[in-house]
Amino acid sequence: MSKTSKNALLWTISIVVTLLAVYYQRATGPTHPKYGTVTVDGQEADYKLLRSHGGKGGAPVTIAVPDTSVLGILSFRRYKSNDQWIKTLMIRKGDTLTDTLPHLAPAGKMMYTIELKKNGKLYPVTREPVILRYKGAVPVFILVPHILFMFFVMLFGVRAAIEALAGGEETRFYTGFTMVCLFIGGLILGPVVQKYAFGVFWSGWPFGHDLTDNKTIFVFVFWLIAWYQLKKNELHKTWVIIAAIVMLVVYSIPHSAMGSEIDYTKQKTEIKK
């Protein structure tokens, strides 16, 4: 196999592994919309329920139910609160039942359920309440570079490990590039995104327990060690493989897990429709 063909193969493997990892993280994250199907009187209705909402205004809740004899009941309360459940009758707009949850401050969470009613019988849409987190709007010129740099972290991190395993000569370059991308995307742009979205630059250790912040600094330390070991000796490639494995394991943890949230049990305010 020629050097060009080998390089193309290694890049192909790196891209496939990266895309699979990115897809898994997004699909399993607690802010990814909840999809499913509910059966009402023998007829199926598909739903997509939001678990994250940014910007101004309340989060929309919709479900397509063509049968006009079916009613929708939305119940909601703030997550981590002593609120009573509030129930409202959803509005029908053609084939869709719709309503809007009250707006909350960034990092505030709302839990809600939907019940469909026909001929006096109730059909719960989900077994457990859906938890939605509000966030502030993040400017595109901040968010897009952050996403791109974090994508490059995964891509070049995987590429560095494959290069190390293949005995390539570019291991140190890929390792250094990964470390720089992680520093810019995770430790510089990441806190800026956090500030826009939730009002704080950093909510990981030692100030909080945000897993996204904690895993970023954790992975960065391993890539820093790997780069330093290669700087001392180009043959110290084991640390690169370790750093890549740690990165893949850590980033398999759903994005936004144990993220910023408001504890409403410590407040005396009540939610109103």
194, 202 in Cβ contact below 8 A?
A: yes
In the prediction, which pLDDT does 236 show?
Answer: 83
193-233 tens-digit pLDDT: 988 988 888 776 665 666 677 888 899 999 999 999 999 88
CA separation for the pair 223, 160 (Å, rounded) = 10
98-121 tens-digit pLDDT: 999 999 999 899 999 999 999 999
Q: Residue 46 CB: number of other CB atoms within 10 A?
A: 11
31-53 tens-digit pLDDT: 889 999 999 988 899 999 999 99
170 CB contacts (<8 Å, ≥6 apart)?
Answer: 163
- Taking the model in full, what pTM does it have? 0.81
Paired strand residues for 71? 117
The CATH code that applies to domain 34-135 is: 2.60.40.10
58-94 tens-digit pLDDT: 999 999 999 999 999 999 999 999 899 999 999 999 9
Closest listed residue to residue 54, CA positions, set 164, 143, 185: 143
